[in-house]
Structure 1
Amino acid sequence: MTAPTYDVVAIGNAIVDILAQADDQFITDAGMNKGSMQLIFSAEDADALYAKMGPGKEISGGSAANTVAGVAALGGTAGFIGQVADDQLGQVFAHDIKAAGVDFTTAARDGEPSTARCMIFVTPDGQRTMNTFLGASQYLPSTALDADMIRAGKILYLEGYLWDPEEPRAAMVEAIRIAREANRWVAFTLSDVFCIDRHGDDFRRMVEDGTIDILFANENELKALWKTDDLEAAIEKTTPQVGVVVVTRGEQGAIAMYQGRRYQVAAQPTSGVVDTTGAGDLFAAGVLHALAKGMALDGALVQGAICAAEIISHYGARPEADLKALVAEKMQY
């Protein structure tokens, strides 16, 4: 078997984030669930919400894309597979992810719908409420997969958000098959409680049949997966068939389980929370990069916490500081 040339290859939504400040009353009046993500199913509704936004900032995003951008910023090698349209936002996304040092070869899709966008309202406490129009990203076909890239990745990383539309779900199932045949690790993030509400049976089956080697979830997602209010019970249900289970807990840090052993890490101190968009994505970047490089899990969790702290200190879900230097300074290696 050929040795992997990428640390992480990710498949996910190719999205451009549009961020704007908003107060809690705006969130309530708009009928949003603060701190969560909801889908917008029509271009017309997306345009109407966009018209209500205050001055915005456009930053390429997408959960798994943010993660591999973080892997590259840490000095790792990464590839991304995701669908954009042949339009201005598609060009923005392609430019940004390549400029971040990530290989991106998926051809743009002609015609409607447009490239995906996520309208993010950031409240004064740093919480982000996301409204996503998936657009072209939900039309990623299996034929668009770069099988050689998948085989060349030490870890294949998949986002739960992309499990919702039928076409990319089939593509991700095929990608898992390719990765398994190449003896690569499969990592998966549950992404959001709404994904579990819609596809919990699939996710539970993937956990129970050993499809997933590394699982990322926040506390609420893992409890929702097993329909319990008891986090410890949810962890106990997850660990038998999953090699590494990582549960993020916001300001309480994170928990991980590996071979029956429990690891914990505190949240890294930060000068202030500006925007929590991408905190989980960059935590995953730190952990995946470390594991791909052979670092022990306790060190991987610390690296993840450092990356997450950097992201929440500014707007947007792509690193602004030199992550390699930051990690070297804080981990002293």
Structure 2
Amino acid sequence: MENLDVYGVCNPLIDLLSHVPDSFLTERGLNKNSMNLITLEEQQTFLLALAAGKISVEFAAGGSGANTMIGIAQLGGRTAFSGKIGRDEHGKIYREKLEDLGVNAVLGEGDGTTGSSLILVSEDGSRAMNTYLGMSQELQVPDIDPEVIQASKYLYLTGYLWDTEVQKKTVINALDEAKKREIKVALSLSDPFCVNRHKDDFKKLLQGYVSMVFCNQEEAFSLLDTTVTQEAVEILSQWTETVVLTLGSNGALISHLGQTFYIDPSQICVEDTTGA
């Protein structure tokens, strides 16, 4: 394996993207900027409702970690991505799309359905993700290649991997491999609801394994039980070398080895925050 900048591990998901009016969310009790784990049957119910309303659905290769690896590859970085897909048409398409976008696809396969996320994009560009994990939740130790970890500057993980016990055990094994091989670990907290589900585990991760953490304001506040941004940065800086805390339309704060920098936002028209 060639030397890599980042090796990402997350849930490989086929994205089903649809632009909907706010009423579609409120009528179904869905929150903006959230990720909800649902069954395949529940996802099919939403798709039928979209079809009944003549609302179109687009397909793309996605998943939080894969989106990040694609972004790094587009900036000239060398990346690989691992997760588990099904031996089905969606899995085949997923692997091809990832490779076409410049990411080394180090994917495990199993007899089941490739995971998918129905992403409902509202009028202000916010997204509500309704995810059926499918085979992605069956990620096993052999699906993550220790030699790829060794070849990488960073192992990148997302908080979504803590939503099933099988994935959690697999990722802890990968973390131990990275620590043994002195490979740095980056973690995205992923989602405020995810943080609330795994708050204690994430704190242990940040203090024991992680060199770089990515989060937004709401995720940091949920984790640390504070509503003061600077306090959140200071606490996280005690645990990790680098903190990247995004502030939405107000830019971002980056703290590295005790020095904090403010990054001005770019003025854009928000159409869709999927993958942001």
Q: How high is the TM-score relative to the length of structure 2?
A: 0.95
Partners of 2:108 and 2:261 lie apart in 1 by: 41
Which position in structure 1 is the counterpart of 2:40?
43
- Where 2:231 maps in the other structure, the secondary structure is helix
The within-5 A match list for 1:196-275 is 196-209=195-208, 211-270=209-268, 272-275=269-272
Q: Note if 1:8 corresponds to 2:9.
A: no
Counterpart AA for 2:78: T
Q: Is the 8 A contact 1:147 1:175 kept in 2?
A: yes
Q: Is the 8 A contact 2:212 2:242 kept in 1?
A: yes
Partners of 1:269 and 1:17 lie apart in 2 by: 27
Q: Note if 1:66 corresponds to 2:63.
A: no
Q: Give 1:241 deviation, angstroms.
A: 2.0
What CA deviation, in whole Å up to 9, does each residue of 1:160-197 have, x standing for no partner? Answer: 11111111111111111111122111000000111111
Q: Is the 8 A contact 2:82 2:108 kept in 1?
A: no
Q: Give 1:229 deviation, angstroms.
A: 1.8
- Where 1:8 maps in the other structure, the secondary structure is strand
Q: Is the 8 A contact 1:87 1:115 kept in 2?
A: yes
What CA deviation, in whole Å up to 9, does each residue of 1:186-234 have, x standing for no partner? Answer: 000000111111111010112233x110000000000100112222222
Partners of 2:202 and 2:109 lie apart in 1 by: 29
Q: Is the 8 A contact 1:35 1:129 kept in 2?
A: yes
Counterpart AA for 2:99: K
Which position in structure 2 is the counterpart of 1:57?
58
Q: Is the 8 A contact 2:11 2:84 kept in 1?
A: yes
Q: Give 1:51 deviation, angstroms.
A: 1.5
Partners of 1:278 and 1:152 lie apart in 2 by: 26
- Where 1:49 maps in the other structure, the secondary structure is helix
Partners of 1:101 and 1:208 lie apart in 2 by: 33
Q: Is the 8 A contact 2:35 2:130 kept in 1?
A: yes
Q: Is the 8 A contact 1:65 1:80 kept in 2?
A: yes
What CA deviation, in whole Å up to 9, does each residue of 1:233-265 have, x standing for no partner? Answer: 222221112000110111111001112111111
Q: Point out where structure 1 has 5 or more consecutive residues left out of the alignment.
A: 280-333
Q: Point out where structure 2 has 5 or more consecutive residues left out of the alignment.
A: none
Counterpart AA for 2:274: T
Q: Give 1:105 deviation, angstroms.
A: 2.5
Partners of 2:133 and 2:103 lie apart in 1 by: 21
Q: Give 1:4 deviation, angstroms.
A: 7.4
Structural RMSD (CA) = 1.4
Partners of 1:259 and 1:146 lie apart in 2 by: 30
Partners of 2:32 and 2:260 lie apart in 1 by: 31
Q: Is the 8 A contact 2:236 2:243 kept in 1?
A: yes
Q: Is the 8 A contact 1:63 1:278 kept in 2?
A: yes
Q: Is the 8 A contact 2:152 2:183 kept in 1?
A: yes
The within-5 A match list for 1:43-192 is 43-53=40-50, 54-110=55-111, 112=112, 114-192=113-191
Q: Is the 8 A contact 2:108 2:139 kept in 1?
A: no
Counterpart AA for 1:187: A
Q: Which has the higher strand share?
A: 2
Identical positions, percent: 35
Q: Give 1:267 deviation, angstroms.
A: 1.4
Q: Note if 1:276 corresponds to 2:273.
A: yes
Q: Is the 8 A contact 1:119 1:130 kept in 2?
A: yes
Q: Is the 8 A contact 1:15 1:134 kept in 2?
A: yes
